[in-house]
Amino acid sequence: MGSKINKKFAIISVSDKSNIDIVAKKLVKNNYQILSTGGTAKFLAKKNIPNISISKFTEFDEILDGRVKSLHPKIHAGILAKNKKDLEGLKNGYSLIDLVIVNLYPFKKVISQPNCKLTDAIENIDIGGPTMLRAAAKNYKRVTVVTDPNDYNMIINEIEKFGCTREKTRYSLAQKVFSIISDYDQSITNYLSKNDDVLENLPDSFKIVLRKKQTLRYGENPHQKGKLYSITSPKINGFDFTQISGKELSYNNLVDAESAYSCVQQFTNSACVIVKHANPCGVAENKNIAKAYDHAYETDPVSSFGGIIAFNKNLNDKLLAKIIDRQFVEVIIAPEFGKKCRKIMENKPNIRLLLIKNIKSKTKSYDMKALKGNFLIQESDSKTITKKDLRIVTKKKPTKNEIEDLLFAFKVARYVKSNAIVFAKNKRTLGIGAGQMSRIDSTNIAESKAKKQKIKLDGCVMASEAFFPFRDNVDLAKKIGVKSIIQPGGSIKDDEIISITDQHKISMVFTATRVFKH
């Protein structure tokens, strides 16, 4: 190697060989000698690009079927040395290595395959790659490290312009490397844990890896900037959507969309949920999806203005046209859209259509909320309440239809901000009261909204997402004409509440499950 002693050394060892031949050719032209490993060396040789195998450079053959290739003092001394003086006096001709281009074994791609075996995953845990990357990133003052093919052009342009990369570029690339390696290691941890219970599996200290999904139109208010990030690690099931039409989403659009999606996901028959300010303002379930929409809209047409509409079934062209002709809407969500829906939306660029990818998903998910300097994580409230869970506590028993309406109303109450009151009949909401400091205020609001729409409440059911602390809600329910009540129970005044309900000849059931939504 005597004739090449003044050349710079670059290690190239990549799983993703996209454009690596172009990069290698340009490096050769700029006086770099390339060191490479197995598959990369063969690839470059086929492209007639001169390179020295790492085995030849280290004078140490690959062993253990290629598991040990780059783990050698000549490689890591060459990367970690701060300058030539660090290598003086070392035997066997140590040389500085100035550039490391490495990307890792495709662990995530392999484990995403449906037939992936544990042995396949283990073989795709990279050892030498992360070690070289970490060493190069640590020594960014002198060494350039690249692991993302999108950065190839940037480093080549700087080398051709300045003769080497700039320190601020090397620093930025080093940061990127540590982020990618952290994400890679967390993916391995998640896979090997084989545990769906993320909360149980999380260590006391861990890293949440975020990846930007899109820049939002604005944040909670127009003067606030906002971005949407997906959590790539730990793996958490969530609100997975694709926007297929309309302008950019805002922060509030997404908050409301997630609320509408979570609520509508509970229902089996065709259902429609209309949300405004993160609260359902109209919900209905029906065998006919158009009727479900009509009933949801009729609950509160005023609040539905500018709302978010979610469906749990295919939204056909005819119903989409009806919706946009009838009301102003920000976002429409569905698991499928009719063939002509995109054409219909060409003249409605302000309305967003969101295609939901996992509307039927029953896998466990988690809620997260940021506090100042702290982070809350909890299991999502996905407990299913069925007829078997209901305990009839009054002398009067609810009818079969009333039980169905009680369960429907309780599903809605689960997504109404506390304190929540829902009046319903025939699997459609009649009035909703949300977010009040006093439960009786929510009841009054729900009744008032129904009156404004000239909706009769006589014979309806009433749902409360938490227990009644006082008798006032039951007294008002009697006055309104409520026939049956569903609530969790658990108050020290339960016996009194049951007695009053019996006096009013109203049936009542307890769920033994509170569903607060703050």
CB 299 within 8 A of CB 429: yes
CB 432 within 8 A of CB 449: yes
Beta-carbon contacts of residue 80 (< 8 Å; ≥ 6 apart): 135, 138, 139
Beta-carbon contacts of residue 18 (< 8 Å; ≥ 6 apart): 149
Classify 450 as helix, strand or coil.
Answer: helix
Residue 22's H or E segment, with its range, is helix 20-29
**What DSSP character marks residue 356?**
E
Residue 406, Cβ density class (10 Å: 0-12 exposed, 13-18 middle, ≥19 buried): buried
CB 433 within 8 A of CB 441: yes
Prior bond of 419 cis (ω within 30°): yes
User: Strands 484-487 and 461-464, how do they pair?
Assistant: parallel
Neighbours of 21 (CB within 10 A): 16
Residue 409's H or E segment, with its range, is helix 400-413
Residue 212, Cβ density class (10 Å: 0-12 exposed, 13-18 middle, ≥19 buried): exposed
Beta-carbon contacts of residue 46 (< 8 Å; ≥ 6 apart): none
Classify 170 as helix, strand or coil.
Answer: helix
* DSSP track, 180-224: HHHHHHHHHHHHHH--S-HHHH--SS---EEEEEEE-S-SSSTTS
Beta strands in 224-326 (DSSP E): 227-233, 241-245, 270-276, 279-286, 307-311
- Report the greatest alpha carbon distance in the chain: 103
- Which token pair is 149? 């093919």
**Active-site amino acid positions:** 138, 277
Report residue 297: phi and psi, to 5°: -65, -40
- Please name the residue ranges forming H helices in 222-300: 251-264, 289-299
- Which token pair is 325? 């002709």
What is the rounded radius of gyration, in angstroms, for the C-alpha atoms of the chain? 31
